[in-house]
Amino acid sequence: MLQVSGLYIYPVKSLGGISLQSAELTDRGFKYDRRWMLVDQSNRFLSQREFAAMALIKMTLTDEGILASNPSGDCLLLRVDEYTTERAPVTIWDDVCEGCFVSGEADEWFSRSLQTPCRLVYMPDDSLRPVNPRYAPDDAVTSFSDAYPFLIIGQASLDDLNSRLETPVLMNRFRPNLVFTGGAPFMEDTLTSFSINNIEFSGVKLCARCPVPNIDQETGVSSKEPIKTLARYRTKNHKVMFGQNVIHHGLGTISIGDEIAVLELTTEERFIV
């Protein structure tokens, strides 16, 4: 039996994640997941790829909003749906969508915390960013994620990787939204269709990994692992694959312990490494 064992959101893109017991689904993914993003002076996204210290800004979900804290102990409260009327096109990879600047206070706090000029933007409900239509339906949208609403990884896949590493790594290196127990390593590769609590999900594309998994999310220190080891047995078309990108069909809530009902598996070439 496949069972949900981890649920995670990342309210501000590339900053620390939050582990949940239950997660609410919205039109563009889990509630609050990557609805905020830091941008540079050209309104292009910032990520741990260039600023590993972003991993050290931790996030906490509170009754008042999202609390950000930096290594110095300074905190900033992001109140949900509080942002300015100043809008601008912002860039995530090759995508451009509209974001609202949050506040001068937020800009100053994050610029100081990361020691680089940046601004915080929020994705309002009327800003719709479609996923790549090559892999998903035209009406599927996402937030400020890299490309898709969800990333799913099986615990067995991480266990397999760790059995090959001298020093095991935590799941947070890969920044998934959904983690499950049960099944063989890399079963997520073949999940074409599955449901959780009567909400249907579709696996649409294996996740090609950038260097971010090499960054220890607790220290911000980067090394060559685990990508170096993954490259030996998880490379396809010169890209290292780990986890699968997923879209969803419907709204609702899912929780730790929910059963994952497999509706369809695939052996299509694009899913097999």
pLDDT for 153 equals: 98
Q: Residue 30: is it exposed, middle or buried by C-beta count within 10 angstroms (0-12/13-18/19+)?
A: buried
Look at residue 131 and tell me whether its pLDDT is greater than 60.
yes
Query: What is the rounded average pLDDT of the residues 119-123?
Result: 98
Instruction: Report in angstroms the alpha-carbon separations of 117 from 41, 50, 112, 120, 221.
Output: 7, 13, 8, 11, 22
Taking a C-beta distance cutoff of 8 angstroms, is the pair 167, 205 a contact? no
Query: What is the rounded average pLDDT of the residues 137-151?
Result: 93
Tokens for 193?
Answer: 């269709």
Taking a C-beta distance cutoff of 8 angstroms, is the pair 136, 247 a contact? yes
Per-residue pLDDT band for 216 (boundaries 50, 70, 90) equals: very high
| Calpha distance 263→193 (Å, rounded) | 5
Per-residue pLDDT band for 269 (boundaries 50, 70, 90) equals: low
pLDDT for 137 equals: 79
What are φ and ψ of residue 89, in 5° steps? -70, 130
Give the count of beta carbons closer than 10 Å to the beta carbon of residue 257: 10
pLDDT for 134 equals: 84
The single-letter code of the amino acid at 139 is D
pLDDT for 88 equals: 98
Tens digit of pLDDT for each residue in 28-75?
A: 999 999 999 999 999 999 999 999 999 999 999 999 999 999 999 999
Could you tell me what percent of the chain has a pLDDT over 70? 98
Look at residue 250 and tell me whether its pLDDT is greater than 60.
yes
pLDDT for 130 equals: 94
- HSE of 235 in the Cβ direction (CA atoms, 13 Å)? 11
CATH class of the region 2-29+131-271: mainly beta
Q: Give the global pTM.
A: 0.96
pLDDT for 89 equals: 98
Taking a C-beta distance cutoff of 8 angstroms, is the pair 268, 184 a contact? no
Closest residue by Cα to residue 120 from 107, 138, 104: 107
Closest residue by Cα to residue 4 from 199, 257, 262: 257
Tens digit of pLDDT for each residue in 67-114?
A: 999 999 999 999 988 999 999 999 999 999 999 999 999 999 999 999
| Calpha distance 44→93 (Å, rounded) | 8
pLDDT for 218 equals: 96
| Calpha distance 117→128 (Å, rounded) | 27
For the chain, domain boundaries: 2-29+131-271, 33-129
| Calpha distance 175→217 (Å, rounded) | 10
What average pLDDT does the chain have? 96
Taking a C-beta distance cutoff of 8 angstroms, is the pair 175, 169 a contact? no
